[in-house]
Each structure stands twice: as C-alpha cells, then as structure tokens.
C-alpha cells in the first residue's frame, strides 16, 4: 500500500497497532459495514515550522460521536479520549506531508440487520493526502439524475458508510458522462450537496448555501467557510433553499469539504458559471482557508491541533 508507507501505525480500540496486525475477519465485510460510521480529518503541514496542524479535530470528533449515537451504538471513548488517541496516532506516524485521518466505528455483527453487538469498535488510521488548495483544480459539474437521501430514510446528517452508496451512484454517473462531480437535488428538487462535499454559490457578492435541513451532511468546512466569510472577508452569507436554476445563474460557485477543500465549479450542466473560470470571492475564500488551516494565518488557533516535531 504505497500511500500508507509512511503511516505504519493504526489506533485500534485503545492502542497503537502495527498496520499489518489491524485486521478484521473477512466474514465481517458486509455486516460490519452496515452500521459503520466514519470521519475524515485533514492535517496540514505548516511550511514555516514543519509542524502538522490537525484541522478542526474537536468538531470532527463531536460529529463522529453523534454519528455513533444516531446509529444506536455505544462508544467506549469520550471526546477528550479520542482527541488524545488522534494526537498519539499522528505523533507515532510522524507525518512530513499533508495527511488525512480516518476515524471509523463499526459493530461486530453476524447479520445485515441490527448489529449483534452495540459496542462500537473504533479504529483510526492516517494516510497521505496532499492538499490541492494551491493548485488550479476546477470542477465541471452536473446535476445528478439520482436524488439525495432524506432525513427520515437514511439521514444525511449521519456520516454513515451506507449513505455513500447514494454518493457512489451520483459520482460514478457524473464521471461516466464526462463531468468531474455531481450535484444532488432533494426529492423536492432543491439543491442539496455533492457526493462527498457541500457547495456554495456567489450571487451579487453574497455567499448562498443550502441550509442544514437541505439533505446535507452538516459539513465542518461549510461552517468554517461561512465563519471566515463573515468575519475575515466581510461578506454576507445566506443559508436557505437553493433552486436548480440558481446554479446556472450564479456568478461563482464552489464545492467545499475536508477532502475536496475548496474547488471552484466553473460549469454546471455545461452552463458556464460566471466567466467559466474561478471567481474572485472563491479565490479569496481558498487563500483564507489555506492560510488558516496551515497556521500561516495565526487567527482561529482553536481550530488547529498542532503536532510538533519530536
């Protein structure tokens, strides 16, 4: 596994474990994944100090514990214990590049229905994942023919592995049809989110994004950008239902999420967004997010858990 070469240690149910020993029996593949929930967290290297900055660790762990609770599993670890686990794990792996931390909780089960056990087993691992924030990545997106999940069906607010089948349908279809990413609509035809990211529009200098009751994951990046936009960029932000044709008439649009970070959407369904290239507000948001996440901008220190060089 080339991408995990530098990250040889996994945290599994209370202790650091060598990568090759962190195994689960093959018969658990289906049953364990049905009830599983996870998180994705980035750790950015500050090029001045070479320290690793885990970004918004507590917010991700809070959402992780909420997801575990909502699938009715019991977690043996508190948020401070999980925070210590992540810090211990990142230290043990000594990342010298940008990394991605993946906490995962599952219950052992013999069946695809209710888990046999309600005890959440927690495993956390780290992989390398370079930031694309300072690259010229853009997205040509499409509105998906698939509909986003709903709260009373498979709640998008819960970061459950099973929800990602809906994401997979949409992402695969978009790629097959020559697009970079999909945008899913709610059953009511309002804009929800991408398969693994939220999205924002800019119209008349204002940031507009679907509200948290629009069939989205309550994204930490979304919340971060809204706060930065208000406080650092002095922009108005509006959270509300968004129509499909607002996508086509926006001046700017961008995807946001821990994995995708901030990627400008330059077309939707082959309609150019604005001038068909990254807009000024999107670029300002990218720069501000980059500098804060890496700790180059020292504000919002509470968002960064700094792992120094030993």
Strands (E), the chain: 9-12, 15-18, 37-38, 41-45, 52-55, 74-75, 99-106, 119-128, 139-147, 181-185, 191-193, 198-203, 206-209, 237-239, 252-257, 261-268, 271-272, 304-307
Residue 218 Cβ vs ligand PMP, minimum distance, rounded to whole Å: 7
Instruction: List the structure tokens of 46.
Output: 């500050």
Task: Please identify, using beta-carbon distances, which residue of 90 and 216 lies nearer to ligand PMP.
Answer: 216
Task: Please identify, using beta-carbon distances, which residue of 69 and 94 lies nearer to ligand PMP.
Answer: 69
Residue 240 Cβ vs ligand PMP, minimum distance, rounded to whole Å: 18
Q: How far apart are CA 221 and CA 79, in angstroms?
A: 20
The CB density around residue 135, as the number of other CB atoms within 10 Å, is 10
Going from the C-alpha of 115 to that of each of 18, 120, 146, 307, 309, the distances in angstroms are 27, 10, 29, 36, 41
Residue 25 Cβ vs ligand PMP, minimum distance, rounded to whole Å: 27
Residue 112 Cβ vs ligand PMP, minimum distance, rounded to whole Å: 22
Instruction: List the structure tokens of 272.
Output: 């150019």
Q: Are 142 and 177 in contact (CB under 8 A)?
A: yes
- Among 110, 105, 133, which residue's Cα sits nearest to residue 120? 105
Classify 181 as helix, strand or coil.
Answer: strand
Q: Is 192 in the site for ligand PMP (CB under 6 A)?
A: no
Task: Please identify, using beta-carbon distances, which residue of 140 and 148 lies nearer to ligand PMP.
Answer: 148
Catalytic annotation present for 190: no
Partnered with residue 119 across adjacent β-strands are 74
Task: Please identify, using beta-carbon distances, which residue of 56 and 274 lies nearer to ligand PMP.
Answer: 56
Task: Please identify, using beta-carbon distances, which residue of 257 and 279 lies nearer to ligand PMP.
Answer: 257
- The footprint of ligand PMP on residues 257-296 (CB under 6 A) is 257-259
**Out of 95, 103, 196, 278, which residue is the one contacting ligand PMP (CB under 6 A)?**
196
Letters for 32-71 (x = contact with ligand PMP by CB under 6 A, - = none) are --------x-------------------------------
Q: How far apart are CA 251 and CA 112, in angstroms?
A: 46
Q: Is 139 in the site for ligand PMP (CB under 6 A)?
A: no
Q: Which stretch binds ligand PMP (CB under 6 A): 104-112, 126-134, 215-223, 286-294?
A: 215-223
Query: Which among 15, 159, 175, 277 is annotated as catalytic?
Result: 159
Q: Is 215 in the site for ligand PMP (CB under 6 A)?
A: no
Give catalytic residue positions.
159
Could you list the residues that contact ligand PMP (CB under 6 A)? 40, 167, 193, 196-198, 216-217, 219-222, 257-259
């Amino acid at each position: 596994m080339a991408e995990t070469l530098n990250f040889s240690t996994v945290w599994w149910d209370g202790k650091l474990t060598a990568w090759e020993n962190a195994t689960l029996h093959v018969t658990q593949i289906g049953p364990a994944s049905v009830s599983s929930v996870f998180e994705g967290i980035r750790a950015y290297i500050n090029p001045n100090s070479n320290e690793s900055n885990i970004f918004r660790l507590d917010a991700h762990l809070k959402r992780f514990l909420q997801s575990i609770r909502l699938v009715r599993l019991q977690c043996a670890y508190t948020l401070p214990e999980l925070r210590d686990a992540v810090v211990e794990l990142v230290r043990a792996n000594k990342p010298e590049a940008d990394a991605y931390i993946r906490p995962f909780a599952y219950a052992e089960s013999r069946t695809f229905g209710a888990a046999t056990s309600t005890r959440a087993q927690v495993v956390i691992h780290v992989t390398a994942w370079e930031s694309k924030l300072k690259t010229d990545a853009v997205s040509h997106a499409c509105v998906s023919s698939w509909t986003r999940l709903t709260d009373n069906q498979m709640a998008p607010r819960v970061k459950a592995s099973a929800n990602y089948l809906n994401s997979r349908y949409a992402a695969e279809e978009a790629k097959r049809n020559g697009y970079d990413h999909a945008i899913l609509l709610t059953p009511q035809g309002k804009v929800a989110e991408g398969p693994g990211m939220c999205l924002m529009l800019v119209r008349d200098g204002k940031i507009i994004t679907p509200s948290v009751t629009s069939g989205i994951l309550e994204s930490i990046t979304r919340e971060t950008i809204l706060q930065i936009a208000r406080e650092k960029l002095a922009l108005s932000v509006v959270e509300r239902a968004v129509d499909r044709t607002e996508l086509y008439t926006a001046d700017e649009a961008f995807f946001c999420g821990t994995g995708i970070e901030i990627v400008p959407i330059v077309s939707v369904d082959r309609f150019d967004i604005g001038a068909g290239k990254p807009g000024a507000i999107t670029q300002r948001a990218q720069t501000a997010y980059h500098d804060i996440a890496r700790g180059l901008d020292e504000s919002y220190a509470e968002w960064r858990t700094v792992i120094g060089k030993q």
